[in-house]
Amino acid sequence: MAETASKKKSETAATKAGGAGGERRPRLLLMDGHSLAYRAFFALPAENFTTATGQPTNAIYGFASMLANTLRDEAPTHFAVAFDVSRKTWRSQEFPDYKANRSKTPDEFKGQVELIGEMLDAMHAVRFAVDGFEADDVIATLATQAEAAGFEVLIVTGDRDSFQLISDHVTVLYPTKGVSELTRFTPEKVFEKYGLTPAQYPDFAALRGDPSDNLPGIPGVGEKTAAKWINQFGSFADLVERAEEVKGKAGQNFRDHLESVKLNRRLTEMVRDVELPRTVADLERAPYDRTALAMVLDTLEIRNPSLRERLLAVDPGAEEAEQAPAEPGVELDGVVLGAGELAPWLAEHGKAVLGVATVDTWQLGSGTVTEVALAAAGGAAAWFDPASVDEADENAFAAWIADPTKPKVLHNAKAVMRVFPEHGWAVDGVTMDTALAAYLVKPGRRSFALDALSLEYLGRELAPASAADGQLAFGTEEDDRAEADHLMSQARTILDLGTAFGEKLREVGASDLLKDVELPTSTLLASLERHGIAADRAHLEAMEQQFAGAVQQAVKEAHAAAGHEFNLGSPKQLQEVLFGELNLPKTKKTKTGYTTDADALAWLAAQTENELPVIMLRHREQAKLRVTVEGLIKSIAVDGRIHTTFNQTVAATGRLSSTEPNLQNIPVRTDEGRAIRRGFVVGEGFESLMTADYSQIELRVMAHLSEDEGLLEAFTSGEDLHTTVASQVFSVDRSKVDAEMRRKIKAMSYGLAYGLSAFGLSQQLNIDAGEARSLMDTYFERFGGVRDYLRRAVDEARATGYTETMLGRRRYLPDLNSDNRQRREMAERMALNAPIQGTAADIVKIAMLNVHRALTEAKLDSRMLLQVHDEIVLEIAPGERAKVEELVRREMAGAVALRAPLDVSVGVGADWESAAH
Q: How far apart are CA 734 and CA 725, in angstroms?
A: 9
Q: Under 8 Å CB-to-CB from 892, ≥6 apart: which residues?
A: 692, 694, 847, 850, 851, 872, 902, 904
> Is 824 exposed, middle or buried, given 0-12, 13-18 or 19+ CB atoms closer than 10 A?
middle
Burial of 639 (0-12, 13-18, 19+ CB in 10 A): middle
Half-sphere exposure of 202 (CA within 13 A, CB side): 16
Question: pLDDT tens, 530-545?
Answer: 999 999 999 999 999 9
- Residues with Cβ within 8 Å of 854's Cβ and at least 6 positions away in sequence, in order, are 887, 890, 891
Res 18: pLDDT: 44
Query: What residues have CB less than 8 Å from 434, skipping those under 6 apart?
Result: 409, 410, 411, 450, 453, 494, 497, 498, 501
DSSP string of 806-860, one letter each residue: TT--EEE-GGGG-S-HHHHHHHHHHHHHHHHHHHHHHHHHHHHHHHHHHHHHTT-
Q: Do 5-194+271-283 and 330-532 come out as alike in CATH topology? A: no
Residue 895 C-beta-side C-alpha neighbours within 13 Å: 29
pLDDT given for residue 672 in this prediction:
92
- Closest-CA residue to 518 (of 441, 458, 454): 441
Q: Under 8 Å CB-to-CB from 32, ≥6 apart: which residues?
A: 81, 82, 135, 136, 139, 155, 156, 157, 158, 159, 162
Q: Give Rg (Cα) of the chain.
A: 33
For residue 628, CA distances in Å to 547, 712, 830 come to: 10, 40, 30
Q: For 154-191, how does the pLDDT look when each residue is reduced to its tens digit (9 = 90+)?
A: 999 988 888 889 999 999 999 876 556 788 999 999 88
**pLDDT score of 805:** 94
Give residue-wise pLDDT tens across range 769-799.
888 889 889 989 889 999 999 999 999 988 8
The C-alpha angle 283, 286, 289, rounded to 5 degrees, equals: 130
Q: Output 571-575 pairs: Cβ under 8 A, ≥24 positions apart.
A: 571/596, 574/616
Nearest to 350 by CA among 390, 385, 393, 386: 393
Strands 589-590 and 593-594 turn out to be antiparallel
- The C-alpha angle 652, 656, 660, rounded to 5 degrees, equals 115
Residue type, 908: V
Prior bond of 96 cis (ω within 30°) = no
- State the Cα angle at 904 between 785 and 732, rounded to 5°: 45
Beta-carbon neighbour count of residue 455 at 10 Å? Answer: 19
Q: Show the DSSP H helices in 469-536 as ranges.
A: 477-507, 511-513, 519-531
Class for domain 699-835, per CATH? mainly alpha
Torsion of CA 889, 892, 898, 903, to 10 degrees: -50
Pair 430, 521: CB distance under 8 Å: no
Domain 330-532 - what CATH class? alpha beta
In the chain, count H helices and then E strands: 37, 25
Check if the beta carbon of residue 72 is closer than 8 Å to that of residue 313: yes
pLDDT at 666: 87
Instruction: Report whether 689 contacts 863 (CB < 8 A).
Output: no
The Cα-based distances of 716 to 111, 720, 742 in angstroms read 46, 10, 18
Low-confidence ranges of the chain (pLDDT < 70): 1-23, 52-54, 86-87, 90, 92-105, 177-180, 206-215, 219-220, 222, 236-241, 243, 248-251, 253, 256-260, 264, 319-330, 446, 463-479, 591, 819-820
* Domain made up of 5-194+271-283: CATH architecture: 3-Layer(aba) Sandwich (3.40)
Question: What does the buried/exposed string (b/e) look like for 721-732 if buried means 16 or more CB atoms within 10 Å of the residue's CB?
Answer: bbbbbbbbbbee
d(CA 456, CA 434): 13
Q: Which DSSP string do the residues of 113-141 spell out, in sequence order?
A: HHHHHHHHHHTT-EEE--TBS-HHHHHHH
Decide if 789 contacts 836 (C-beta within 8 A): no
Q: What is the CATH number of domain 547-642?
A: 1.20.1060.10
> Which pLDDT belongs to residue 344?
97
Rounded distance between C-alpha atoms, residue 868 and residue 80, angstroms: 51
Please give, one letter per residue, the 3-state secondary structure of 223-291: HHHHHHHHHHHCCHHHHHHCHHHCCHHHHHHHHHCHHHHHHHHHHHCCCCCCCCCCCHHHHECCCCCHH
The pTM of this model reads: 0.71
The two most distant CA atoms of the chain are separated, in Å, by 108
Residue 865: its H or E element: strand 863-868
User: Regarding beta strands 430-433 and 408-410, do their DSSP bridges make them parallel or antiparallel, or are they unpaired?
Assistant: parallel
Strand duo 126-128 + 78-82: pairing = parallel
- Domain limits of the chain? 5-194+271-283, 330-532, 547-642, 699-835
The DSSP call for residue 695 is: S
